[in-house]
Structure 1
């Protein structure tokens, strides 16, 4: 199972966190993520849907801000550098819009790509708020009462697509486990000039080389029911993805001995396993990142109880056989006396 992580889920979660003064159903701006391509000098026209779900009319204001990657979780960091010549300054937004309660409106915005725009990735967010655009001290964007849409623009030309696998390991660093789940950690660095979206599988085989399970990495089910890659990695940034091999969902970790026995039975695995990572990325999905690791699963609580039960059963069987033999011998002697 893939845990998820700029993915569609991350975009929704981060931008939803910017709302603050609203709750999640107060105002809807869709789609939450645009991934588009263009050539230098090209003009793009596209639109957004704005839905006022509050119980009163209001006036809303648009603004655009560039963003970069922050940390390894896929979170965007919004910057408000005045005069910064990049995607935010290429976007022409509509003026303030007035929406009645329950009103849905389609608004258009234009992206005018300069003739001398650098090939590769350019990133901005379109925000909608109840107050005119403003910058806080230090150039950071004032984030109160805002929702937004991320725009990932890829400008054609001499684009470099290059990713490097920094780490393929286990989340807690262990190599011996008592039970499932087994949590895998994948860290990828983008050395290119455009965002990449590595996605694939971790194939797990047992000690006999038999395929046990296949775990998805950076793949999620979309509203239409189809599975697609979700998490982008921006240029000059690192992103981590976590995926898990598990048999059942567990709300709490077991604490007592017998709880651990039950948990190991429900999340059973035994022996040495090999996990092979296979990720694809690139415009043609023709670039690969691969790695292999091994680990052990030894459910000793369950094995100990099973061993004790087996010994008791064998002891009972031996005792029963001996008692039966003595009864047969005794019966035979009494018959011939």
Structure 2
């Protein structure tokens, strides 16, 4: 799912501030990291250069401290969490990145940040990940920029996805694909959990094909699980915006991933049927039919009574004439 740089920056700020025990509402400046995510690729022994940007939308000029840290993903929503100790981290990237320690940015301006990534000769093929973050620094040297107010640690940054060329494993497992077994009306919500056993981040793309009780295709629901990092899980939710259904439906999940066009599949069945509406309708129909039958019977009895009275009157008239 695509997001603007500002949206990502705000999100990353909240994540990092939460880890640091700082409430984001205390931050006194507005920073935007551009882009929010950077994808690069290189071979062992190469040096790759890249250009980032940081924008200062505060009312004062700022010095931004620059930090490069590895990150990992703990939860199933793909939230990046910085890690200070990268020892033994198969996916580490931070130690390869050369970036300035400090970036001065005037108010309402954007500053270019040049970085280099030196890929070791021993680098393992696959994904390596780091975040480059900016934090306002109140310690501005005289004459370098305008004096700033004290800044409480607000941080935003760019996630760097670096792929080292070489043979890699790309494997996706569908751990869970579920839907409410019975729904009276839509929308119908599908949910799932995906597991990556890859050496590199993968971005599954696909859809859920829905077939009706007659096995005819009736809908296609897109699925976007976002990027899944190596050896992590990711959840997704997709909705079928159909209000009414009339039986047992089939849902086929098909997700393409990786560079070889691999596909992961799963199938589930579910019921979409307005049982209460049908019951209420049947009760209403039966009630109407009952009233009609009762009225017909009453009318018939009344007719029979009238006929009996007429017959009785005829007899009386005949008796009167014979006297």
Match of 2:57 in 1: 53
On the 8 A contact 1:14/1:75 being kept in 2, the answer is no
TM-score under structure 2 length normalisation: 0.76
Q: Does 1:301 align with 2:296?
A: no
In structure 2, the CA distance between the partners of 1:322 and 1:213, relative to structure 1 (3 Å rule), is farther
Q: Structure 1: how far apart are the matches of 2:87 and 2:248?
A: 58
Q: Structure 2: how far apart are the matches of 1:212 and 1:324?
A: 50
Which ranges in structure 1 are unaligned for 5 or more consecutive residues? 133-142, 219-229, 248-266, 331-337
Shift of 1:208: 0.6
Match of 2:315 in 1: none
Match of 1:191 in 2: 197
| Higher mean C-alpha displacement, 296-305 vs 31-40 | 296-305
TM-score under structure 1 length normalisation: 0.73
Aligned length: 284
In structure 2, the CA distance between the partners of 1:94 and 1:324, relative to structure 1 (3 Å rule), is farther
Match of 1:77 in 2: 81
Shift of 1:59: 0.9
Shift of 1:21: 5.1
Match of 2:125 in 1: 119
On the 8 A contact 1:16/1:24 being kept in 2, the answer is no
Q: Does 1:235 align with 2:210?
A: no
Q: Aligned to 1:117, what secondary structure does the other structure show?
A: coil
Q: Structure 2: how far apart are the matches of 1:116 and 1:130?
A: 36
- For 1:36-51, list aligned pairs within 5 A: 36-51=40-55
Residues 70-108 of structure 1: CA deviation (Å, up to 9, x unaligned)? 121111221012777831111111231222221122221
Shift of 1:239: 1.5
Match of 1:276 in 2: 252
Q: Structure 1: how far apart are the matches of 2:10 and 2:64?
A: 21
Q: Aligned to 1:130, what secondary structure does the other structure show?
A: strand
Shift of 1:122: 0.4
- For 1:139-158, list aligned pairs within 5 A: 144-158=153-167
On the 8 A contact 1:30/1:48 being kept in 2, the answer is yes
Residues 35-84 of structure 1: CA deviation (Å, up to 9, x unaligned)? 22211112211112211111111111111100112121111221012777
Shift of 1:144: 4.2
Q: Structure 2: how far apart are the matches of 1:321 and 1:13?
A: 73
- For 1:1-337, list aligned pairs within 5 A: 14-17=11-14, 18=16, 20=24, 26-81=30-85, 86-131=92-137, 144-170=153-179, 174-218=180-224, 231-247=226-242, 267-284=243-260, 286-314=261-289
On the 8 A contact 2:210/2:251 being kept in 1, the answer is yes
Shift of 1:191: 1.3
Residues 278-330 of structure 1: CA deviation (Å, up to 9, x unaligned)? 1100124x10101111011232232233223433554576688899999x999
On the 8 A contact 2:209/2:219 being kept in 1, the answer is yes
Q: Structure 2: how far apart are the matches of 1:44 and 1:179?
A: 54
In structure 2, the CA distance between the partners of 1:212 and 1:319, relative to structure 1 (3 Å rule), is farther
RMSD (CA atoms): 3.3
Q: Aligned to 2:286, what secondary structure does the other structure show?
A: helix
Q: Structure 2: how far apart are the matches of 1:298 and 1:24?
A: 54
